[in-house]
Structure 1
Amino acid sequence: MTTLTVRGLDDDTRARLRVRAARNGRSMEAEVRAILREALSEPDAETGLGSRIAARFAAVGGIDLEPPPRGDMPRAAHFDA
């Protein structure tokens, strides 16, 4: 296990860290470990954002929607004043 010392941490950042740790029921040291673990974890390269969102909300359930029928083709924008 490695020890890391952080010097020069301003009072505001320390106070916010203390509040965040208390909110999560952890010590400040445990909160820093959790923050570093989360910040440095590599996202799963095999799934994209949409797949990760769907997986996160899969337990809630959902519905399949039919895409609306396409009518007229989109018109080009006119930038006349």
Structure 2
Amino acid sequence: MNSITIKNFDDDLKNRLQKRAEYSGRSLEEEAKAILGAVLTEKASKPLNLALAIERRFADFGDFELPTITREPLREPPNFEDLHDCT
């Protein structure tokens, strides 16, 4: 069995990990193994679909329509020919 050492481990992070371990009824080492195992075994093959993520996020709001925003006509593009020569 291999072991790892994490140097300069943030105290706040260690305290949060310790609290999580206590809540789960595990040792600090067991909790770290569980977290690493869960993260490293997740399926990462699916790319993020932003539209689907947004749809899922707002699914609980039910059906609703966004109001139509009236658009103004485009401005005329600037005419740079009117500028005088600065050379």
TM (normalized to structure 1)?
0.54
1:7 counterpart letter in structure 2? K
Cα root mean square deviation, aligned: 3.0
Aligned mates of 1:33, 1:40 — CA distance in 2: 10
Q: Which residue of 2 aligns with 1:40?
A: 40
Asked which structure has the greater CA Rg, the reply is 2
Moved over 2 A (4+): 75-80
- Residue 3 of structure 1 corresponds to which residue in structure 2? 3
Deviation, 1:43, is 1.8
Which residue number corresponds to residue 71 of structure 2? 79
CA drift at 1:40: 0.4
- Which structure 1 residue ranges, 5 or more long, are not aligned? 46-74
Q: Match of 1:23, SS?
A: helix
| 1:61 paired residue number | none
The Cα offsets for residues 22-45 of structure 1, whole Å up to 9 and x where unpaired, read as 011100000000010011013286
Provide, for residues 28-70 of structure 1, a one-character-per-residue CA deviation record: whole Å limited to 9, x for no partner: 000000010011013286xxxxxxxxxxxxxxxxxxxxxxxxx
TM-score by length of 2: 0.51
Structure 1 residue identity aligned to 2:10:
D
Unaligned runs of 5+ in 2: 46-66, 73-87
